[in-house]
Amino acid sequence: MSKPTMFPAQQATSRRTVLAAALSGLGAVAAPGVQAKPQSTVPVTPAPSEHGVAKVRSEFLFFDDPVAKLHAHLRLERTLAEQSYTITWYHFVVFMVPVTRGPIPLVRYEGMEFSYLRHLGNNNFRLHAHNLSFPRDLESGKFTSTVTNPVTGELINIPPTVLTNDPGTVHNPIGFRNINSDGTYQIRYTMFRREDNLLKLDSVRGAPPEKPITHQENSCAWCPFDEFTNTNIASLPAHFVGTYLYDYPGWAQMGERPGHLMAQFDGKKISSVEELPDEYLDRARREYPDLLRPRWEDFDKPLAFKL
């Protein structure tokens, strides 16, 4: 990994000028009808060191070796291994976005993603995943099976979100390819950066070829910087936040009305399903016990292209 390039610190000149101008203008409204004397602009001095104010350390990190960048990405979002799995737990709030109105909060979900990875050789990593998310009422936080559509006013049924049909991807230093595609690479925007004692990764993933145009996932994941530099840690203890954009699902009963859904999510990696919150884990065990394990059988599907 190359030495990080420093991100230029923001200059405070304009901010100080504005602040000084605002302070100098206070006397102008002291008494109606009385002309205030012009006041000279006094520069705002930097905060003394005894106040404990410190500059934010902000650096972009670049990699000379694309293999090293891929490995860093896998360690933060997944794991770097010949074969292993990663579990993430999350909450996300879903907004309905009709064309003629602003985004409207609709429902909250709590869920988990189980992803599993296998190294196919020559830094080609095959990934599959499944998700299980239970809807929760926005106000009470309790599990729910209904929600009021804020556009139509109708009470609609909202089922758990069970995603088990992920086609899978193969990642290598060039980019990633969907397993059921013709092998065309998709390039993902990523930027590693340091923020004080944290390593952060900004990532943008567009829609797979078979998805509608309205499909986008943006995220920021982070972990302690000193753990990132410890290459003995194959799966870093990451937290993450992000947004997700997708078309109206059938349960929304929006018909041909224009618009889409947007979700804001946040969560963290966990080491095992035993770390899941009790209420969520108990329900998952009752209703979807087969989803509390990696689905290694997904790797039996052949690739639609040659590596």
Mean local confidence (pLDDT), 104-131: 97
Q: What is the pTM of this model?
A: 0.81
Q: How far is it, in rounded angstroms, from Cα 214 to Cα 207?
A: 8
pLDDT at 22: 34
pLDDT of residue 12: 39
Please give the pLDDT value at position 25.
36
Number of neighbouring beta carbons within 10 Å of residue 265: 20
Q: What percent of the chain has pLDDT over 90?
A: 74
Contact of 207 with 216, CB cutoff 8 Å: yes
Q: With b meaning 16 or more CB within 10 Å and e meaning fewer, what string describes 98-119? A: beeeeeeebbbbbbbbbbbbbe
**42-82 tens-digit pLDDT:** 666 666 666 667 889 999 999 999 999 999 999 999 999 99
Task: Give 283's pLDDT tier (boundaries 50, 70, 90).
Answer: very high
Average pLDDT over residues 118-147: 98
Extended strands (E) in the chain: 5-6, 58-61, 83-98, 104-121, 124-136, 146-148, 155-157, 161-163, 169-171, 176-178, 189-195, 198-205, 215-224, 239-246, 259-270
Strands 58-61 and 5-6: antiparallel
Chain position carrying tokens 């224009």: 258
Q: Which of 32-46, 179-193, 214-228 has the lowest mean pLDDT?
A: 32-46
The backbone torsions φ and ψ at residue 8, rounded to the nearest 5 degrees and listed phi first, read: -55, 135
Check residue 122 and give its pLDDT. 97
User: What's the pLDDT at 213?
Assistant: 76
pLDDT band at 205 (very low <50, low <70, confident <90, very high): confident
Contact of 95 with 107, CB cutoff 8 Å: no
| Mean pLDDT within 270-281 | 98
Q: Is the pLDDT of residue 98 over 70?
A: yes
With left for phi above 0 and alpha for psi between -120 and 50, is residue 106 left, alpha or beta? alpha
Confidence of residue 128 (pLDDT cuts 50, 70, 90): very high
217-260 per-position pLDDT tens digit: 999 999 999 999 999 999 999 999 999 999 999 999 999 999 99
Q: Is 303 helix (H, G, I), strand (E, B) or coil?
A: coil
The mean of the pLDDT values for the chain is 86
